[in-house]
């Protein structure tokens, strides 16, 4: 059995551009970055996927977790502030996979349809792990198809972790019946809380093929991000 988690930690420029409450609650970005790094370093999961990681945040995470292995995808698109100077020194945006053991990186690819989203494929702990951040508009279908291609090229148990910008049913329809999108607790926290609009509040998922997911839980981010972390335990089928 292995344990996994996924969390969109919210890039500061995106928070500033879209007037997220997080930017107001945390006027000092260095303090928020340090708090996020402490929170991630305290997590016990063997595999942690992180989305919207700024260059500043990545540096802080590496410092806070010197005993962990880091796999990263730096997106070609660099977020640009629409509201004047940003609080960041390094505006680059990364998709990050943190593991507590060695891993072999197979793919690190920004999606053709959106150079600020993508997938990172790493073999570790007996699993092929696909960390991803998927666009939430009409580009979603092609990107999900690309994720399916990555999975089809891999043998053995597979887990996809990330912000899919879609609810469980949509993700399941795109990936097909051989994948299981782990149900989120019906009485738990939303993964992406909202106070308005009709978009789903359950868009961060753990998806498995050839494995069973159990103990799926949504933890509170306590205002550090606009998303809450999701965690689960995984067992290969037949193990």
Residue pLDDT, tens place only, 4-20: 999 999 999 999 998 67
Taking only the tens place, the pLDDT of each residue in 110-148 is: 999 999 999 999 999 999 999 999 999 999 999 999 999
Question: What is the residue-wise DSSP string for 107-161?
Answer: EEEEETTEEEEEEEEEEETTEEEEEEE--SSTTHHHHHHHHHHHHHT--S-EEEE
The alpha carbon torsion through 206, 212, 218, 219 (nearest 10 deg) reads -110
User: Domains (ranges, CATH) in the chain?
Assistant: 2-236 (3.60.10.10)
Helix (H) or strand (E) holding 169: helix 168-175
76-106 confidence digits (pLDDT tens): 999 998 877 888 989 999 999 999 999 999 9
Residues 6+ positions from 134 with CB-CB distance below 8 Å: 111, 117, 140, 143, 144, 147, 162, 163, 164, 165, 166
pLDDT band at 195 (very low <50, low <70, confident <90, very high): confident
pLDDT tens-place string over residues 24-55: 899 999 999 999 999 999 999 999 999 999 99
In the predicted model, is pLDDT for residue 194 greater than 90? no
- Average pLDDT in the 45-74 region? 98
């Amino acid at each position: 059995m292995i344990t996994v988690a996924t969390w969109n930690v919210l890039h500061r420029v995106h928070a500033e551009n879209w007037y997220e409450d997080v930017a107001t609650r945390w006027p000092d970005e260095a303090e928020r970055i340090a708090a996020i790094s402490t929170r991630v370093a305290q997590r016990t999961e063997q595999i942690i996927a992180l989305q919207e990681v700024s260059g500043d945040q990545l540096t802080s995470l590496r410092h806070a977790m010197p005993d962990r292995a880091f796999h990263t995808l730096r997106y070609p698109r660099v977020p640009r502030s629409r509201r004047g100077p940003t609080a960041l020194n390094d505006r680059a945006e990364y998709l990050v996979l943190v593991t507590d053991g060695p891993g072999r990186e197979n793919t690190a690819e920004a999606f053709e349809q959106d150079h600020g989203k993508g997938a990172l494929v790493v073999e570790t702990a007996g699993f092929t792990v696909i960390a991803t951040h998927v666009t939430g508009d009409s580009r979603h279908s092609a990107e999900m198809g690309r994720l399916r291609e990555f999975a089809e090229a891999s043998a053995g148990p597979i887990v996809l972790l990330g912000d899919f910008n879609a609810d469980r049913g949509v993700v399941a329809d795109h990936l097909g019946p051989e994948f299981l999108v782990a149900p989120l607790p019906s009485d738990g926290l939303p993964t992406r809380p909202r106070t308005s609009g009709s978009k789903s509040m359950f868009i961060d998922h753990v998806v498995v093929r050839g494995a069973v997911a159990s103990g799926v839980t949504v933890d509170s981010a306590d205002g550090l991000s606009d998303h809450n972390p999701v965690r689960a335990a995984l067992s290969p089928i037949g193990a």
